[in-house]
Amino acid sequence: AQSVTQPDIHITVSEGASLELRCNYSYGATPYLFWYVQSPGQGLQLLLKYFSGDTLVQGIKGFEAEFKRSQSSFNLRKPSVHWSDAAEYFCAVLSGGSYIPTFGRGTSLIVHP
Partner 1 sequence: NAGVTQTPKFRVLKTGQSMTLLCAQDMNHEYMYWYRQDPGMGLRLIHYSVGEGTTAKGEVPDGYNVSRLKKQNFLLGLESAAPSQTSVYFCASSYPNRDYGYTFGSGTRLTVV
Instruction: Note the residues at the interface with partner 1 (CB under 8 A).
Output: 9, 32, 34, 36, 41-46, 49, 51, 90, 92, 94, 99-101, 103-106
Q: In the complex, what is the shortest distance from the CB of residue 15 to partner 1, in angstroms, rounded to a whole number?
A: 26
How many Å apart are CA 105 and CA 86, to the nearest integer? 17
User: 9 or 70, CB closer to partner 1?
Assistant: 9
How many Å apart are CA 28 and CA 55, to the nearest integer? 17
Q: In the complex, what is the shortest distance from the CB of residue 32 to partner 1, in angstroms, rounded to a whole number?
A: 5
User: 19 or 36, CB closer to partner 1?
Assistant: 36
How many Å apart are CA 74 and CA 105, to the nearest integer? 15
How many Å apart are CA 81 and CA 41, to the nearest integer? 21
